[in-house]
């Protein structure tokens, strides 16, 4: 039997990284790393792992993802989300390794009245968004074979996520309040990863938006989860102003998936993915 292709997965203990380790293990020999193995800011360690393993693909799922925390820890946010991805891309280029990095809808201001395309000018509202945008720029300017898969509102098994927390709170309290003035595309980690594996097979480079189809507000998303789970709880709609979180979020962060569709890849609607997630994992 021919040897499997090798993949390095960074951030392998996170929500997306853990799912990636499982999904990619079918066709790849997986080399998973997280904080306990080495910090992605450690250039020497990174270089040594990539040069030793010489994978076909490196997938960077590591990031500082605490959006409100980033407001207080600006330096950490820029080091992990902004500078480290550029170094990973450079090392991958040096060893001719294809590199996939994840971007976020939070690089946009949310002022646009229609969906954001890959060509739209980013204008982040938060430190998290600015740090992630810096990461995108550095990955692209490193000049290797790199793909930035921008995604949004991720949920799935492994780690904390919005849906698991909502279901828990609804069961406990019988009533929850959820913002109704931010719209986006909730995305199931496994749907994103299947899409990314397809893109990896084609060695697509540049920037691509990858999310489940359809759109909704956090209120719609929570209401659907409670309905699908069959919980008798009241979901109250509130405004972002009322929640008053440290980091501003875009009101509209719907990422257009037209480019992906034009390449021949269709992702199912978010409701179908949410039903599957709830049935299998909650």
Ligand X SMILES: NC(=O)c1ccc[n+]([C@@H]2O[C@H](COP(=O)([O-])OP(=O)(O)OC[C@H]3O[C@@H](n4cnc5c(N)ncnc54)[C@H](OP(=O)(O)O)[C@@H]3O)[C@@H](O)[C@H]2O)c1
Closest CB to ligand X among residues 136, 181: 136
Closest CB to ligand X among residues 154, 164: 154
Closest CB to ligand X among residues 28, 106: 106
Instruction: State phi, psi for 177 to the nearest 5 degrees.
Output: -115, 130
CB 227 within 8 Å of CB 235: no
Q: Name the H helices within the chain.
A: 15-24, 43-53, 67-72, 74-77, 84-94, 127-142, 162-173, 189-201, 218-229, 240-243, 258-262, 270-281
Given candidates 24, 31, 64, 277, which one binds ligand X under the rule CB under 6 A?
Answer: 64
**Best CA proximity match to 104, nearest among 140, 78, 130, 74:** 130
Given candidates 6, 22, 25, 39, which one binds ligand X under the rule CB under 6 A?
Answer: 39
Given candidates 21, 40, 207, 278, which one binds ligand X under the rule CB under 6 A?
Answer: 40
The residues in 99-158 that bind ligand X, with binding defined as CB under 6 A, are 102, 104, 132, 151-154
Burial degree of 203 (CB within 10 A; 0-12, 13-18, 19+):
exposed
* Kind of pairing between the strands at 98-104 and 154-155: unpaired
In whole angstroms, how close is the CB of 132 to ligand X at the nearest point?
6
* Kind of pairing between the strands at 183-184 and 216-217: antiparallel
Total residues contacting ligand X by CB under 6 A comes to: 25
Q: Which of 98, 128, 155, 277 is catalytic?
A: 128
Given candidates 4, 6, 22, 41, which one binds ligand X under the rule CB under 6 A?
Answer: 41
Is there a catalytic annotation at residue 128?
yes
The residues in 215-234 that bind ligand X, with binding defined as CB under 6 A, are none
Applying CB under 6 A, does 32 fall inside the site for ligand X?
Answer: no
What is the rounded distance in angstroms from the CA atom of residue 92 to the CA atom of residue 111? 36
CB 282 within 8 Å of CB 169: no
What is the rounded distance in angstroms from the CA atom of residue 193 to the CA atom of residue 199? 10
Applying CB under 6 A, does 24 fall inside the site for ligand X?
Answer: no
Given candidates 11, 55, 122, 184, which one binds ligand X under the rule CB under 6 A?
Answer: 11
In whole angstroms, how close is the CB of 55 to ligand X at the nearest point?
17
Q: Which residues bind ligand X (CB under 6 A)?
A: 11, 13-17, 34-35, 39-41, 61-65, 80, 102, 104, 132, 151-154, 159
- Annotated catalytic sites, by residue? 128
């Amino acid at each position: 039997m021919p040897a499997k292709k090798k993949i390095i997965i960074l951030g392998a203990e996170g929500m997306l990284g853990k799912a990636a380790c499982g999904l990619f293990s079918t066709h790849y020999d997986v080399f998973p790393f997280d904080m306990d193995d080495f910090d992605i800011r450690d250039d020497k360690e990174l270089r040594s792992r990539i040069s030793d393993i010489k994978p076909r693909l490196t997938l960077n799922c590591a990031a500082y993802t605490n959006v409100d925390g980033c407001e207080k820890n600006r330096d950490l946010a820029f080091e992990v989300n902004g500078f480290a991805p550029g170094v990973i891309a450079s090392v991958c280029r040096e060893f001719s390794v294809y590199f996939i990095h994840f971007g976020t809808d939070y690089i946009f201001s949310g002022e646009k009245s229609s969906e954001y395309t890959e060509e739209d000018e980013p204008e982040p509202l938060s430190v998290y968004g600015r740090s992630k945008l810096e990461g995108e720029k550095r990955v692209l300017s490193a000049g290797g074979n790199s793909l930035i898969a921008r995604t949004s509102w991720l949920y799935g098994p492994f780690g904390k996520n919005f849906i698991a927390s909502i279901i828990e709170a609804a069961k406990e309290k019988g009533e929850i309040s959820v913002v109704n003035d931010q719209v986006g595309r909730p995305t199931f980690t496994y749907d994103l990863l299947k899409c990314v594996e397809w893109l990896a097979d084609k060695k697509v480079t540049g920037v691509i938006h990858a999310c489940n189809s359809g759109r909704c507000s956090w209120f719609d998303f929570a209401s659907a989860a409670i309905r699908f789970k069959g919980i008798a709880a009241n979901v109250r709609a509130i405004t972002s102003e009322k929640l008053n979180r440290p980091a501003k979020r875009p009101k509209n962060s719907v990422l257009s998936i037209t480019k992906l569709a034009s390449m021949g890849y269709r992702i199912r609607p978010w409701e179908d993915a949410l039903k599957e997630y709830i049935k299998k994992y909650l």
